[in-house]
Chain A
Amino acid sequence: EAQVTQNPRYLITVTGKKLTVTCSQNMNHEYMSWYRQDPGLGLRQIYYSMNVEVTDKGDVPEGYKVSRKEKRNFPLILESPSPNQTSLYFCASGRSTGSYSNQPQHFGDGTRLSIL
């Protein structure tokens, strides 16, 4: 079954304690991306990756890091989490967005982070 898997699904932690949210896809997609979803603000792109070792900033990258060492995995790292990073996070994957082949994205079921 084609899927994007995020872990953990829920996490409550404290300010400053480094955390990593993992994301894995089994569709051999080149493109992966992270979003956060907040009430009234909708989904906002944090980082995206066009392929292995290629990452770029979305609209709200501050306070986040990503890495893409292999095609299937795209972890989101919060080195020093703060309360304003409390949110619902989604990982997504899709075929390459090069030229005209803008393929849709598959989303994971989300990770709810609470930073106290």
Chain B
Amino acid sequence: EDQVTQSPEALRLQEGESSSLNCSYTVSGLRGLFWYRQDPGKGPEFLFTLYSAGEEKEKERLKATLTKKESFLHITAPKPEDSATYLCAVLHGSSNTGKLIFGQGTTLQVKP
């Protein structure tokens, strides 16, 4: 069964305390893995797309990496404004389909 699992469900960090969020997947025909940030009362906001194992993308304090079975979102020296729910999603299947599977998210709280 196609599945996307994120861990941990919740993470509390002190400001400046680096950590990583995990997104593991079991799908057939990965075509892309997306990371999003979601603030309360808002729709998800795109962060990164990763296409193939070994790929890395960076944006400010965030760095996303991809292997054949999982992706990590590394947060370096987080600030309180990084508090949000982080979602990963996988696009899979043949090129003429647009099915996207989301993980359940990791809720990050960064305390000053």
Interface residue ranges, A against B (CB under 8 Å): 4, 31, 33, 35, 40-45, 48-50, 56, 58-59, 90, 92, 97-100, 102-110
- Whether A109 and B100, one on each chain, are in contact in the complex, defined by CB atoms closer than 8 angstroms, is no
Give how many B residues have a beta carbon under 8 Å from the other chain's beta carbons: 26
Kindly state whether residue B78 has any CB partner on chain A within 8 Å: no
User: Given A33-B100, A48-B99, does the pair A102, B49 have CB atoms closer than 8 Å?
Assistant: yes
- Whether B49 and A45, one on each chain, are in contact in the complex, defined by CB atoms closer than 8 angstroms, is no
List 25 A-B residue pairs with CB atoms under 8 Å apart, sorted by A's residue number.
A4-B43, A35-B102, A41-B104, A42-B87, A42-B102, A43-B44, A43-B87, A48-B98, A48-B99, A48-B100, A59-B101, A92-B43, A97-B32, A97-B95, A102-B32, A102-B51, A102-B91, A104-B34, A104-B46, A105-B100, A106-B46, A107-B44, A109-B41, A109-B42, A109-B43
- Whether B97 and A104, one on each chain, are in contact in the complex, defined by CB atoms closer than 8 angstroms, is no
Nearest 9 A/B pairs, CB to CB: A107-B43, A102-B32, A42-B104, A104-B46, A43-B102, A48-B98, A97-B98, A107-B44, A99-B95
Tell me the B5-45 residues at the A interface (CB within 8 Å).
31-32, 34, 36, 41-45
- Whether B43 and A100, one on each chain, are in contact in the complex, defined by CB atoms closer than 8 angstroms, is no
Tell me the B72-94 residues at the A interface (CB within 8 Å).
87, 89, 91
CB neighbours of A92 from chain B (8 A):
43-44
- Whether B43 and A108, one on each chain, are in contact in the complex, defined by CB atoms closer than 8 angstroms, is yes
- Whether A102 and B43, one on each chain, are in contact in the complex, defined by CB atoms closer than 8 angstroms, is no
CB distance from A2 to the nearest CB of B (A): 11
CB distance from B53 to the nearest CB of A (A): 15
Q: Which residue of A lies closest to B89 (CB)?
A: A43
- Whether A104 and B99, one on each chain, are in contact in the complex, defined by CB atoms closer than 8 angstroms, is no
Q: Which residue of B lies closest to A50 (CB)?
A: B98
CB distance from A102 to the nearest CB of B (A): 4
Whole-angstrom CA separation of A35 from B34 in the bound complex:
16
